[in-house]
Amino acid sequence: MAREEIIERLKEILLAEDDRKKELIENCTEEMSLTEDLGFNSVALLYMVIDIEESFNIRFENVGISDFETLGQVVDYIEGQLQ
């Protein structure tokens, strides 16, 4: 799966999770911080991980929510798991 495709699907997940941040999520970039720029709290991050696991059929092993600082790092992890 291409990186752009992963990002698009990730945006869909984030939008379904929190539609209050529609504009922010639609225009987000890989460099954006999940907590500071996108304003996700720990529950939102855990929810995101659960949704990613279901959507991409992958499993997050031995990682905590603080291990991902930016959206790009999440994409890197998904990419790594899909290979």
Partner 1 sequence: MNKKSGFLKFIHKFVFWFVKITAAPAMLLFRPKVLYPDGKKYKIRGGALLISNHITSFDPLYMQFVIWHRNHHFICAKEFYDKPARAFLFDCFQCIPVDRDNTGIGTMREIASHLKAGELVCMFPEGHVNLAEGGDPELQEFKSGMVLIALMGGAPIIPMVMKRRKTILSRLEAAVGEPVDVASFYGKRPTVAEIEEITKMLQEKTRELREALEA
Interface residues with partner 1 (CB under 8 A) are 16-20, 41-44, 46-47, 49-50, 53, 60-67
Cα separation, 78 vs 57, in Å, equals: 10
Q: Which of 56, 22, 55 is nearest to 38 (CA)?
A: 22
Based on CB atoms, which residue is closest to partner 1, 29 or 41? 41
To partner 1, the closest distance from the beta carbon of 81 in angstroms equals 13
33 — phi, psi (to 5°)? Answer: -75, 135
The pair of structure tokens assigned to 44 is: 């939102």
Which lies closer to partner 1 via its Cβ, residue 4 or residue 57?
57
Nearer to partner 1, 4 or 54 (CB): 54
